[in-house]
Amino acid sequence: MKLSANGIAIEVDDQGPPGGPALLLVMGLGMQLIAWPQPLVDRLVGAGFRVIRIDNRDAGLSEGFDRHGVPNLAWAGLRYMMRLPVDAGYRLADMAADAWGVLDALGVGEAHLCGASMGGMIVQHMAAAQPRRAASLALMMTTSGARHLPRPTLAVQRALLSRPPRAEDAGAVAARLEAMFRLIGSPAYPASAETLRAQVAQALQRAYRPAGVARQLVAVVADGDRSGLLPRIAAPVHIVHGEADPLIPPAAARDLHAKLPGSTLDLVPGMGHDLPAELLARFAQGIATNAARQSTA
Protein backbone atom coordinates (compact mmCIF):
# COMPACT_ATOMS: atom_id res chain seq x y z
CA MET A 1 0.00 0.00 0.00
CA LYS A 2 1.08 3.59 -0.58
CA LEU A 3 1.09 6.17 2.18
CA SER A 4 1.79 9.89 2.14
CA ALA A 5 4.84 10.42 4.33
CA ASN A 6 6.91 13.58 4.63
CA GLY A 7 4.99 14.93 1.66
CA ILE A 8 5.81 12.07 -0.74
CA ALA A 9 4.37 8.66 -1.63
CA ILE A 10 6.06 5.73 0.12
CA GLU A 11 5.23 2.07 -0.53
CA VAL A 12 4.65 0.14 2.69
CA ASP A 13 4.18 -3.50 3.67
CA ASP A 14 2.62 -4.02 7.12
CA GLN A 15 2.45 -7.52 8.63
CA GLY A 16 1.82 -8.96 12.06
CA PRO A 17 -0.43 -8.10 15.00
CA PRO A 18 -1.64 -4.47 14.81
CA GLY A 19 -1.22 -4.15 18.56
CA GLY A 20 2.25 -5.67 18.63
CA PRO A 21 5.42 -3.63 19.09
CA ALA A 22 6.21 -1.96 15.77
CA LEU A 23 9.45 -2.95 14.04
CA LEU A 24 10.48 -0.91 11.01
CA LEU A 25 12.82 -2.55 8.48
CA VAL A 26 14.78 -0.15 6.26
CA MET A 27 16.70 -1.58 3.31
CA GLY A 28 19.88 -0.43 1.63
CA LEU A 29 21.09 1.22 -1.57
CA GLY A 30 18.69 0.69 -4.45
CA MET A 31 17.09 -2.27 -2.72
CA GLN A 32 13.36 -2.82 -2.38
CA LEU A 33 11.36 -3.87 0.64
CA ILE A 34 11.15 -7.39 -0.78
CA ALA A 35 14.91 -7.69 -0.17
CA TRP A 36 13.97 -8.38 3.45
CA PRO A 37 13.37 -12.14 3.15
CA GLN A 38 9.82 -13.21 3.93
CA PRO A 39 11.09 -16.04 6.20
CA LEU A 40 12.83 -13.38 8.32
CA VAL A 41 9.62 -11.34 8.45
CA ASP A 42 7.72 -14.50 9.43
CA ARG A 43 10.12 -15.18 12.30
CA LEU A 44 9.78 -11.62 13.56
CA VAL A 45 6.00 -11.72 13.30
CA GLY A 46 6.12 -15.03 15.17
CA ALA A 47 8.03 -13.24 17.92
CA GLY A 48 5.11 -10.83 18.26
CA PHE A 49 6.30 -7.86 16.22
CA ARG A 50 4.24 -5.77 13.87
CA VAL A 51 6.74 -5.73 11.00
CA ILE A 52 6.69 -2.71 8.70
CA ARG A 53 8.81 -2.69 5.54
CA ILE A 54 9.20 0.31 3.24
CA ASP A 55 10.55 1.12 -0.18
CA ASN A 56 12.85 4.10 0.33
CA ARG A 57 12.26 7.13 -1.87
CA ASP A 58 13.64 6.59 -5.39
CA ALA A 59 13.42 2.79 -5.01
CA GLY A 60 10.81 0.13 -5.62
CA LEU A 61 7.28 1.49 -5.83
CA SER A 62 7.89 4.66 -3.82
CA GLU A 63 8.01 8.13 -5.34
CA GLY A 64 10.92 8.84 -7.63
CA PHE A 65 13.04 11.95 -7.97
CA ASP A 66 13.89 11.96 -11.67
CA ARG A 67 13.46 15.74 -11.61
CA HIS A 68 16.88 15.88 -9.95
CA GLY A 69 18.52 14.22 -12.96
CA VAL A 70 21.29 11.62 -12.94
CA PRO A 71 24.24 12.66 -10.78
CA ASN A 72 27.88 12.42 -11.78
CA LEU A 73 29.17 9.77 -9.39
CA ALA A 74 32.83 10.32 -10.23
CA TRP A 75 32.51 14.05 -9.52
CA ALA A 76 30.73 13.40 -6.23
CA GLY A 77 33.45 10.94 -5.22
CA LEU A 78 36.20 13.40 -6.14
CA ARG A 79 34.63 16.17 -4.07
CA TYR A 80 34.30 13.79 -1.13
CA MET A 81 37.97 12.82 -1.39
CA MET A 82 38.91 16.51 -1.49
CA ARG A 83 36.73 17.14 1.59
CA LEU A 84 34.50 19.48 -0.38
CA PRO A 85 30.70 19.61 -0.01
CA VAL A 86 28.85 17.10 -2.15
CA ASP A 87 25.62 18.32 -3.72
CA ALA A 88 22.81 15.79 -3.43
CA GLY A 89 19.20 16.11 -4.54
CA TYR A 90 18.16 14.89 -1.10
CA ARG A 91 19.89 13.71 2.06
CA LEU A 92 19.75 10.64 4.25
CA ALA A 93 18.10 12.86 6.86
CA ASP A 94 15.25 13.37 4.36
CA MET A 95 14.93 9.60 3.98
CA ALA A 96 14.83 9.28 7.77
CA ALA A 97 12.02 11.84 7.84
CA ASP A 98 10.20 9.76 5.21
CA ALA A 99 10.41 6.72 7.48
CA TRP A 100 9.15 8.58 10.54
CA GLY A 101 6.39 9.95 8.31
CA VAL A 102 5.32 6.40 7.47
CA LEU A 103 5.07 5.57 11.16
CA ASP A 104 3.12 8.78 11.75
CA ALA A 105 0.68 7.81 8.98
CA LEU A 106 0.23 4.38 10.56
CA GLY A 107 -0.39 5.90 13.98
CA VAL A 108 2.79 4.39 15.42
CA GLY A 109 4.53 6.39 18.13
CA GLU A 110 7.46 4.33 19.42
CA ALA A 111 9.09 1.76 17.15
CA HIS A 112 12.01 -0.63 17.04
CA LEU A 113 14.26 0.23 14.08
CA CYS A 114 16.32 -2.13 11.95
CA GLY A 115 18.38 -0.99 8.98
CA ALA A 116 20.67 -2.82 6.58
CA SER A 117 23.59 -1.08 4.86
CA MET A 118 22.31 2.36 3.76
CA GLY A 119 19.19 1.53 5.76
CA GLY A 120 21.39 1.34 8.84
CA MET A 121 22.64 4.84 8.09
CA ILE A 122 19.06 6.04 7.76
CA VAL A 123 17.99 4.59 11.11
CA GLN A 124 21.00 6.24 12.76
CA HIS A 125 19.50 9.53 11.59
CA MET A 126 16.04 8.44 12.74
CA ALA A 127 17.17 7.58 16.26
CA ALA A 128 19.27 10.74 16.57
CA ALA A 129 16.43 12.97 15.35
CA GLN A 130 13.70 11.45 17.55
CA PRO A 131 15.43 9.46 20.30
CA ARG A 132 12.30 9.07 22.43
CA ARG A 133 10.50 7.25 19.61
CA ALA A 134 13.33 4.80 18.86
CA ALA A 135 12.75 1.83 21.16
CA SER A 136 15.77 -0.13 19.93
CA LEU A 137 18.14 -0.22 16.96
CA ALA A 138 19.50 -3.14 14.97
CA LEU A 139 22.31 -1.97 12.69
CA MET A 140 23.12 -4.57 10.05
CA MET A 141 26.23 -4.39 7.84
CA THR A 142 26.40 -0.60 8.13
CA THR A 143 28.78 2.17 9.16
CA SER A 144 29.18 5.51 10.90
CA GLY A 145 30.83 6.81 7.74
CA ALA A 146 33.99 7.81 9.61
CA ARG A 147 36.69 8.73 7.10
CA HIS A 148 39.40 6.53 8.61
CA LEU A 149 37.44 3.33 7.93
CA PRO A 150 38.49 1.03 5.07
CA ARG A 151 36.69 1.43 1.76
CA PRO A 152 35.02 -1.28 -0.31
CA THR A 153 37.29 -3.60 -2.24
CA LEU A 154 38.40 -2.31 -5.64
CA ALA A 155 36.21 -4.87 -7.39
CA VAL A 156 33.15 -3.64 -5.51
CA GLN A 157 34.03 0.01 -6.18
CA ARG A 158 34.32 -0.70 -9.89
CA ALA A 159 30.99 -2.51 -9.89
CA LEU A 160 29.23 0.33 -8.07
CA LEU A 161 30.57 2.97 -10.45
CA SER A 162 30.03 1.03 -13.68
CA ARG A 163 27.42 2.32 -16.09
CA PRO A 164 24.19 0.29 -15.84
CA PRO A 165 22.84 -1.37 -18.99
CA ARG A 166 19.87 0.14 -20.79
CA ALA A 167 16.56 -0.94 -19.30
CA GLU A 168 15.54 -2.40 -22.67
CA ASP A 169 18.35 -4.97 -22.43
CA ALA A 170 16.68 -7.13 -19.79
CA GLY A 171 19.27 -9.89 -20.04
CA ALA A 172 22.19 -7.55 -19.43
CA VAL A 173 20.39 -5.86 -16.54
CA ALA A 174 19.72 -9.19 -14.85
CA ALA A 175 23.26 -10.43 -15.45
CA ARG A 176 24.74 -7.27 -13.92
CA LEU A 177 22.60 -7.55 -10.79
CA GLU A 178 23.36 -11.25 -10.38
CA ALA A 179 27.09 -10.54 -10.71
CA MET A 180 26.88 -7.76 -8.11
CA PHE A 181 25.01 -9.94 -5.62
CA ARG A 182 27.55 -12.71 -6.16
CA LEU A 183 30.43 -10.26 -5.65
CA ILE A 184 29.18 -8.98 -2.28
CA GLY A 185 27.60 -12.23 -1.08
CA SER A 186 28.62 -14.47 1.79
CA PRO A 187 31.47 -16.86 0.91
CA ALA A 188 30.42 -19.30 3.62
CA TYR A 189 26.76 -19.19 2.56
CA PRO A 190 26.76 -18.85 -1.23
CA ALA A 191 23.39 -18.53 -2.88
CA SER A 192 22.76 -20.92 -5.75
CA ALA A 193 22.56 -19.59 -9.29
CA GLU A 194 18.86 -20.48 -9.29
CA THR A 195 18.23 -18.53 -6.08
CA LEU A 196 20.04 -15.45 -7.35
CA ARG A 197 18.24 -15.64 -10.68
CA ALA A 198 14.87 -15.84 -8.94
CA GLN A 199 15.66 -12.93 -6.59
CA VAL A 200 16.78 -10.72 -9.45
CA ALA A 201 13.77 -11.64 -11.59
CA GLN A 202 11.39 -10.82 -8.74
CA ALA A 203 13.08 -7.46 -8.14
CA LEU A 204 13.13 -6.48 -11.82
CA GLN A 205 9.51 -7.47 -12.31
CA ARG A 206 8.61 -5.06 -9.52
CA ALA A 207 10.88 -2.10 -10.40
CA TYR A 208 14.17 -1.13 -12.06
CA ARG A 209 15.41 2.37 -11.23
CA PRO A 210 19.15 2.81 -11.85
CA ALA A 211 18.97 6.61 -11.73
CA GLY A 212 17.43 6.33 -8.27
CA VAL A 213 20.34 4.15 -7.17
CA ALA A 214 22.77 6.83 -8.34
CA ARG A 215 20.89 9.55 -6.47
CA GLN A 216 20.80 7.44 -3.30
CA LEU A 217 24.53 6.74 -3.62
CA VAL A 218 25.29 10.46 -3.82
CA ALA A 219 23.11 11.00 -0.74
CA VAL A 220 25.29 8.46 1.10
CA VAL A 221 28.49 10.19 -0.05
CA ALA A 222 27.11 13.62 0.89
CA ASP A 223 26.18 12.39 4.36
CA GLY A 224 29.79 11.82 5.34
CA ASP A 225 30.67 11.02 8.95
CA ARG A 226 27.72 10.37 11.29
CA SER A 227 29.88 9.87 14.38
CA GLY A 228 28.59 13.14 15.80
CA LEU A 229 25.02 11.82 15.68
CA LEU A 230 25.70 8.67 17.65
CA PRO A 231 25.77 10.20 21.16
CA ARG A 232 22.15 11.28 20.63
CA ILE A 233 21.02 7.65 20.33
CA ALA A 234 19.50 6.57 23.63
CA ALA A 235 18.08 3.17 22.64
CA PRO A 236 19.80 -0.20 23.03
CA VAL A 237 21.74 -1.06 19.88
CA HIS A 238 22.57 -4.43 18.33
CA ILE A 239 25.20 -4.48 15.57
CA VAL A 240 25.40 -7.34 13.06
CA HIS A 241 28.17 -7.56 10.47
CA GLY A 242 29.85 -10.13 8.28
CA GLU A 243 33.54 -10.74 8.78
CA ALA A 244 33.81 -11.22 5.00
CA ASP A 245 31.89 -8.09 3.94
CA PRO A 246 33.63 -6.61 0.86
CA LEU A 247 31.33 -3.57 0.58
CA ILE A 248 31.47 -2.30 4.17
CA PRO A 249 34.45 -4.04 5.82
CA PRO A 250 33.90 -5.27 9.41
CA ALA A 251 36.08 -2.51 10.89
CA ALA A 252 32.94 -0.38 10.50
CA ALA A 253 31.07 -2.59 12.96
CA ARG A 254 33.85 -2.39 15.52
CA ASP A 255 33.87 1.39 15.10
CA LEU A 256 30.11 1.59 15.74
CA HIS A 257 30.42 -0.72 18.73
CA ALA A 258 33.12 1.50 20.25
CA LYS A 259 31.07 4.66 19.67
CA LEU A 260 27.79 3.25 21.03
CA PRO A 261 28.33 2.34 24.71
CA GLY A 262 26.30 -0.66 25.79
CA SER A 263 25.78 -1.91 22.25
CA THR A 264 26.07 -5.59 21.42
CA LEU A 265 28.15 -6.82 18.48
CA ASP A 266 27.62 -9.97 16.43
CA LEU A 267 30.48 -10.46 13.95
CA VAL A 268 29.50 -13.38 11.74
CA PRO A 269 32.29 -15.51 10.22
CA GLY A 270 31.91 -16.12 6.48
CA MET A 271 29.11 -13.57 6.06
CA GLY A 272 29.38 -10.97 3.32
CA HIS A 273 26.99 -8.15 2.49
CA ASP A 274 23.72 -10.03 2.24
CA LEU A 275 21.12 -11.89 4.30
CA PRO A 276 21.77 -15.62 3.85
CA ALA A 277 18.88 -17.97 4.55
CA GLU A 278 21.08 -19.95 6.93
CA LEU A 279 21.48 -16.91 9.20
CA LEU A 280 17.90 -15.63 9.37
CA ALA A 281 17.16 -17.32 12.70
CA ARG A 282 20.30 -15.75 14.15
CA PHE A 283 19.30 -12.31 12.87
CA ALA A 284 15.76 -12.58 14.21
CA GLN A 285 16.97 -13.72 17.62
CA GLY A 286 19.43 -10.83 17.84
CA ILE A 287 16.77 -8.28 16.92
CA ALA A 288 14.27 -9.70 19.42
CA THR A 289 16.81 -9.99 22.24
CA ASN A 290 17.91 -6.40 21.73
CA ALA A 291 14.30 -5.19 21.64
CA ALA A 292 13.71 -6.94 24.97
CA ARG A 293 16.57 -4.92 26.47
CA GLN A 294 14.44 -1.82 25.87
CA SER A 295 11.48 -3.25 27.76
CA THR A 296 13.62 -4.12 30.79
CA ALA A 297 15.65 -0.89 30.84
How much is the mean pLDDT over the chain?
96
Total domains in the chain come to: 1
Full domain range(s) for residue 42: 2-296
Residue 181 has pLDDT above 90, yes or no: yes
Q: What is the pLDDT of residue 160?
A: 86
- Give the strand pairing for 8-15 and 2-5: antiparallel
Q: Which residues of 68-83 are buried (b: 16+ CB within 10 A; e: fewer)?
A: beebebeebbebbeee
Phi and psi at residue 267, in whole multiples of 5°?
Answer: -90, 120
Q: What is the pLDDT of residue 73?
A: 86
Q: What is the pLDDT of residue 224?
A: 94
Residue 297 has pLDDT above 70, yes or no: no
**Is-contact 226 125, C-beta < 8 A?**
yes
Q: What is the pLDDT of residue 4?
A: 96
**Is-contact 209 59, C-beta < 8 A?**
yes
Q: What is the pLDDT of residue 238?
A: 99
Q: What is the pLDDT of residue 296?
A: 52
Q: What is the pLDDT of residue 77?
A: 83
pLDDT tens digits, residue range 215-253? 999 999 999 999 999 999 999 999 999 999 999 999 999
pLDDT tens digits, residue range 50-98? 999 999 999 999 999 999 999 888 888 888 888 888 999 999 999 999 9
Q: What is the pLDDT of residue 173?
A: 94
Report the range of poorest mean pLDDT among 30-44, 70-84, 113-127: 70-84
Place 295 in a pLDDT band, splitting at 50, 70 and 90: low
CATH code where residue 233 lies: 3.40.50.1820
